[in-house]
């Protein structure tokens, strides 16, 4: 699955009709004047120095953005991709947490079937301590055949493996001593967050919705099909914490520029590289909100779909509807010297819109 298609930041989410009933220590409902960032760490060049500069830029951008109304950073995961797509989001999340003080971070999706779960439980516990509970996770079962082959996992078993491992993680994070394949396992130290970091489930099928409900996890949908909520509630009942769907018409990769036509000429090839890669992985999979089949930069710009370059006025109009700007500052390996002005333009547009934030206790305040 791909959580790119929902508003991928978990701990601070909202809908047009109100706040989601999500029990976390984070702010729940954000209105206007904010942006979020997603990093996949693709690189246009195999040069190690250029790749390292992208990682350094991602850290710098997060440290810079948390002081400018950024509501969160999202880290994606895929394996065996020629452009070096981020394969290890958990250590990257630790690095981001070490460079920031308040910024929430979401790993989405974490491809749980590909991990040894006991070591993962330890790693996630340490990241939870480093971040003081600021890192959350959206679990996905994955869909690329080459990834399962790479890790020796039978793809037909991925759903059952994920369910088993979510249950195991929860038990280990609670401090239990657990029998695992004939050995006795206990995780120390325990996470900073009692019971472990916040974990949600992502997907776009009825089976995924039912799985999330059955496991009692928040459901992040990758499609606009709100009928999945019925399946989610049928399986999880009133105890299921809630679900979220990508809002129709809201772009999922945004850049802001005074002259969008000039910007498409400058950076459009990087957006297209990202779009065509995802499209090639999703042949035959319909309904995913974040996928574009545009074959050229001109077509990608013209469709005004998941990938958009907005003027500052258009960005402010989008923010006024209550949704954050979904940025992907280093999309397709965009060089940092080109990326920074666009990030600064998006933050400047967001800064001109008053952000009202509702906290878990029901109080409201203006975001800093």
- pLDDT surpasses 80 at 214: yes
Spatial distance between the Cα atoms of 309 and 175, rounded to a whole number of angstroms: 48
> Rounded to an integer, what distance in angstroms lies between the CA atom of residue 300 and that of residue 288?
16
Q: pLDDT exceeding 90 applies to what percent of the chain? A: 78
Structure token pair of residue 309: 């370059």
Which pLDDT score, from 0 to 100, does residue 15 have? 27
pLDDT digits (tens, 9 = 90+) for 298-335: 999 999 999 999 999 999 999 988 889 999 999 999 99
pLDDT of amino acid 33? 58
Residue 172 falls inside a structural domain:
yes
Using the structure block, give the residue that is written with the tokens 């951008």. 61
pLDDT in tens, 160-169: 999 999 999 9
Looking at residue 155, its pLDDT comes to: 96
Q: What is the mean pLDDT of residues 329-348?
A: 98
pTM value is: 0.89
What is the tens place of the pLDDT at every residue in 252-282? 999 999 999 999 999 999 999 999 999 999 8
- The whole-angstrom separation of Cα 284 and Cα 341 is 37
What sign does the dihedral 5-9-11-17 (CA atoms) show? negative
36-75 pLDDT per residue, tens: 999 999 998 999 999 999 999 999 999 999 999 899 999 9
**26 domain residue, yes or no:** yes
Encoded tokens for 72: 């969160």
Evaluate the CA torsion angle 151, 46, 3, 292 in order and state its sign: negative
Lowest mean pLDDT among 135-144, 211-220, 245-254, 297-306: 245-254
Least confident piece of the model among 4-13, 71-80, 127-136: 4-13
Report yes or no: 191 and 129 within 8 Å, Cβ to Cβ.
yes
Confidence (pLDDT) at 356: 45
Tens digit of each residue's pLDDT (9 = 90 or more) over 168-183:
999 999 999 999 999 9
Q: For the domain that residue 45 is a member of, what is the CATH number?
A: 3.20.20.30
- The pLDDT, as a whole number, for residue 352 is 87
Instruction: Give the total number of structural domains in the chain.
Output: 1
Domain with 246, as residue range(s), is: 3-361
The full DSSP string for 31-64 is ESS-EEEEE----SS--HHHHHHHHHHHHHHHHH
Question: Is position 366 within any domain?
Answer: no
In this predicted structure, the answer to whether residue 283 has a pLDDT above a threshold of 90 is: no
**Looking at the domain assignment, is residue 128 inside a domain?**
yes
**Would 339 be classed as within a structural domain?**
yes
Contacts of 21 (CB under 8 A, 6+ apart): 241, 242
- Examine residue 368 and state whether it is found in any structural domain, yes or no: no
Q: Tell me the pLDDT band of 23, cut-offs 50, 70 and 90.
A: very low
State residue 143's pLDDT score. 95
Q: What is the mean pLDDT of the chain?
A: 88
User: Is residue 268 within 8 Å of residue 332, measured between CB atoms?
Assistant: no
Whether residue 367 lies inside any domain: the answer is no
pLDDT of residue 126: 98
Q: What is the pLDDT of residue 27?
A: 34
Give the pLDDT band of residue 104 (cuts 50, 70, 90): very high
């Amino acid at each position: 699955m791909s959580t790119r298609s929902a508003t991928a930041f978990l701990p601070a989410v909202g809908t047009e009709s109100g706040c989601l009933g999500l029990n976390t220590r984070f702010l729940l409902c954000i209105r206007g004047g904010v942006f979020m960032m997603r990093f996949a760490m693709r690189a246009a060049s195999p040069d190690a120095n250029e790749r390292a500069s992208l990682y350094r830029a991602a850290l710098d951008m997060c440290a810079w953005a948390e002081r400018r109304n950024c509501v969160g950073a999202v880290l994606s995961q895929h394996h065996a991709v020629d452009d070096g797509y981020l394969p290890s989001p958990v250590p990257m999340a630790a690095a981001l947490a070490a460079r920031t003080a308040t910024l929430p971070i979401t790993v989405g999706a974490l491809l749980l079937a590909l991990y040894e779960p006991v070591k993962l439980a330890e790693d996630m516990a340490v990241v939870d301590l480093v971040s003081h509970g600021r890192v959350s996770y959206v679990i996905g079962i994955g869909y690329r055949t080459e990834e399962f082959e790479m890790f020796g996992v039978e793809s037909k078993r991925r759903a059952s493996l994920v369910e088993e491992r979510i249950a195991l993680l929860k038990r280990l994070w609670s401090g239990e001593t657990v029998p695992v394949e004939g050995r006795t396992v206990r995780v120390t130290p325990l996470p900073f967050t009692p019971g472990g970091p916040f974990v949600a489930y992502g997907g776009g099928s009825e089976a995924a919705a039912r799985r999330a409900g059955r496991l009692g996890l928040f459901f992040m949908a990758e499609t606009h099909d709100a009928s999945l909520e019925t399946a989610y509630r049928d399986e999880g009942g009133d105890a299921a914490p809630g679900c979220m769907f990508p809002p129709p018409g809201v772009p999922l990769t945004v850049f802001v520029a005074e002259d969008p036509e000039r910007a498409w000429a400058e950076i459009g090839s990087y957006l297209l590289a990202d779009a065509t890669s995802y499209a090639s992985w999703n042949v035959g999979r319909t309904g995913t909100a974040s996928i574009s089949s545009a074959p050229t930069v001109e077509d990608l710009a013209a469709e005004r779909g998941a990938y958009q370059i907005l003027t500052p006025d258009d960005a402010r109009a989008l923010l006024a509807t209550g949704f954050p700007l979904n940025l992907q500052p280093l999309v397709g390996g965009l060089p940092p010297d080109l990326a920074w002005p666009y990030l600064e333009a998006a933050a400047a547009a967001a800064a001109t819109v008053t952000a009202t934030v509702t906290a878990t206790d029901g109080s409201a305040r203006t975001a800093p």
